[in-house]
């Protein structure tokens, strides 16, 4: 009797295991093949739908696209795409495409479709965004919620184009947030209270300067003098002083290795290669940090003047808060050696740098998404499609 009982239990367990494995496999197959998950979730597990949703925060930069999910960065790639020139077939998106820029034969085109924070080539931007989102969300994209950071200084038409490009990827919900507000959330600034702050984002295509208070952008200005301007200044200087033409990648390498706007503790020198202006032949040249200061001075000064212009336009109470708490510097361009002290010397206001200046906007989009209701009740404004349409 005992033996029969234990055999019965053993068979029952086997049957349970068999059912469990096959039912899970069957459900998974249906989910992947027929996308029935929406129906399944909405009709039977409506309340759990939000917990199953996947949230992505995106900072679509002129140089880099950063996608954040939860607490981690799931994608950080160059905003570049390459395709067959004659057929339009996609070859690569992201870092691989970026390496091709300036090195492609006629039959292949490699470009950055985002210029100065806005879409310059719509179809290419849409394909690039779709490629990035498919890489991180894969088959979960149809239930994904996206919070995308957009520059404050762009037109409603440009915002709409960005919105459409994100929606075309197949995401369930898309919401836009102004990039300075996202940055403030990403670095933990409490700007929902009546206290002023200023965020300066030195990106690749633009320097966005915004004063914030009570969850809103009070004054902003976008200047085209930014990270790329430092590269151009280096190229100009080398052409003038050494008669050598250098490419974008070489200028970037020089800037990162020895670039500075104030003296470094140690004078550094590096060798680089370019094409001689007159002979047309390859030429190796030497450049040092003192020359960098000369080359980059005007560009750094121009950024300071833009910051001053925004502070001048800001109400005095907020200016007093800024004077007390300082200017917060973010964006990859803020990593240039000495730029924080240069700005502090010019404005007379202390400058705060952050630990992860290139990813704080993307991190902030996720913070915004996770605190959507709380921020809205604090009168924080998110831009929905309806708002854009009404504009």
- Binding interface with Mg ion (CB under 5 A): 61, 203
Please identify, using beta-carbon distances, which residue of 204 and 310 lies nearer to ligand ATP. 204
- What phi and psi, each to the nearest 5 degrees, are found at residue 175? -135, 145
CB of 114 to ligand ATP, least distance (A): 6
DSSP 8-state code for residue 168:
T
DSSP states of 327-353 as a string? EEEESGGGGSBTHHHHHHHHHSS-EEE
CB of 166 to ligand ATP, least distance (A): 16
Q: Which of ligand ATP, Mg ion, none does residue 228 bind (CB under 5 to 8 Å by kind)?
A: ligand ATP
CB of 321 to ligand ATP, least distance (A): 25
Residue nearest to Mg ion (CB): 203
Please identify, using beta-carbon distances, which residue of 61 and 364 lies nearer to Mg ion. 61
Q: Which of ligand ATP, Mg ion, none does residue 226 bind (CB under 5 to 8 Å by kind)?
A: ligand ATP
Interatomic CA distance for residues 82 and 95, integer angstroms: 10
Query: Given the rule CB under 6 A, which residues bind ligand ATP?
Result: 61-64, 117, 201, 203-206, 226-228, 252, 255-256, 259, 331-333, 335-336, 358
CB 183 within 8 A of CB 201: yes
CB of 160 to ligand ATP, least distance (A): 18
Interatomic CA distance for residues 285 and 276, integer angstroms: 10
Q: Which of ligand ATP, Mg ion, none does residue 69 bind (CB under 5 to 8 Å by kind)?
A: none
CB of 62 to ligand ATP, least distance (A): 3
Q: Which residues, other chains included, contact 25 with Cβ-Cβ below 8 Å and sequence gap of 6+?
A: none
CB 318 within 8 A of CB 196: yes
Q: Which residues, other chains included, contact 82 with Cβ-Cβ below 8 Å and sequence gap of 6+?
A: 90, 91, 92, 93, 96, 97, 100, 104, 108, 109, 110, 111
Q: Which of ligand ATP, Mg ion, none does residue 227 bind (CB under 5 to 8 Å by kind)?
A: ligand ATP
Please identify, using beta-carbon distances, which residue of 41 and 57 lies nearer to ligand ATP. 57
CB of 276 to ligand ATP, least distance (A): 25
CB 92 within 8 A of CB 132: no
First to last CA, the chain: 80
CB 163 within 8 A of CB 175: no
CB of 80 to ligand ATP, least distance (A): 11
Q: Which of Mg ion, ligand ATP, none does residue 255 bind (CB under 5 to 8 Å by kind)?
A: ligand ATP
C-alpha angle 165-87-59 in degrees, rounded to nearest 5? 25
CB 58 within 8 A of CB 67: yes
Interatomic CA distance for residues 104 and 182, integer angstroms: 36
Please identify, using beta-carbon distances, which residue of 83 and 98 lies nearer to ligand ATP. 98
How do beta strands 144-150 and 54-60 pair?
Answer: parallel
Q: Which of ligand ATP, Mg ion, none does residue 64 bind (CB under 5 to 8 Å by kind)?
A: ligand ATP
Please identify, using beta-carbon distances, which residue of 244 and 339 lies nearer to ligand ATP. 339
Q: Write out the two tokens for 223.
A: 């200047």
CB of 253 to ligand ATP, least distance (A): 10
SS3 198: strand
Please identify, using beta-carbon distances, which residue of 151 and 196 lies nearer to ligand ATP. 151
Q: Which of ligand ATP, Mg ion, none does residue 94 bind (CB under 5 to 8 Å by kind)?
A: none
């Amino acid at each position: 009797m005992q033996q029969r009982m234990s055999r019965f239990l053993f068979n029952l367990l086997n049957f349970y295991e068999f059912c469990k494995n096959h039912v899970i496999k069957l459900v998974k197959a249906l989910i992947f093949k027929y996308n029935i998950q929406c129906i399944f979730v909405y009709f039977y597990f409506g309340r759990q739908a939000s917990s199953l949703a996947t949230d992505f925060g995106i900072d679509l930069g002129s140089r880099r696209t950063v996608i954040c999910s939860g607490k981690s960065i799931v994608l950080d790639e160059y905003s570049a795409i390459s395709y067959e020139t004659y057929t339009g077939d996609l070859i690569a998106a992201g870092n691989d495409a970026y390496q091709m820029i300036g090195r492609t034969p006629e039959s292949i085109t490699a470009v950055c479709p985002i210029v100065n924070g806005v879409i310059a080539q719509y179809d290419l931007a849409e394909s690039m965004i779709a490629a990035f989102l498919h890489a991180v969300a894969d088959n979960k994209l149809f239930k994904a919620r996206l919070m995308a950071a957009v520059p404050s200084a762009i037109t409603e038409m440009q915002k709409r184009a960005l919105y459409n490009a994100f929606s075309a990827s197949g995401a369930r919900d898309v919401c836009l947030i102004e990039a300075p507000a996202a940055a403030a959330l990403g670095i933990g600034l409490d700007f929902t209270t009546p206290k002023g702050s200023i965020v300066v984002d030195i990106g690749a295509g633009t320097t966005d300067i915004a004063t914030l208070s009570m969850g809103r952008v009070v004054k902003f200005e976008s200047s085209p003098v930014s990270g790329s301007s430092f590269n151009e200044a280096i190229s100009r200087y080398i052409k003038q002083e050494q008669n050598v033409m250098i490419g974008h990648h070489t200028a970037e390498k020089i800037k990162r290795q020895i670039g500075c706007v104030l003296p470094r503790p140690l004078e550094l020198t590096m060798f680089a290669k370019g094409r001689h202006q007159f002979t047309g032949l390859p030429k190796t040249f030497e450049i040092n940090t003192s020359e960098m200061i000369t080359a980059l001075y005007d560009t750094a000064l121009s950024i300071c003047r833009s910051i001053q212009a925004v502070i001048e336009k800001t109400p005095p109470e907020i200016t007093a808060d800024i004077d007390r708490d300082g200017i917060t510097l973010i964006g990859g361009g803020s990593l240039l050696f000495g730029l924080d002290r240069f700005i502090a010397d010019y404005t007379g206001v202390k400058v705060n740098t952050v630990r992860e200046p290139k990813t704080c906007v993307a991190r902030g989009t996720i913070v915004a998404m996770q605190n959507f209701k709380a921020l809205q009740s604090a009168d924080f404004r998110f831009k929905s499609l309806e708002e854009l349409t009404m504009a």
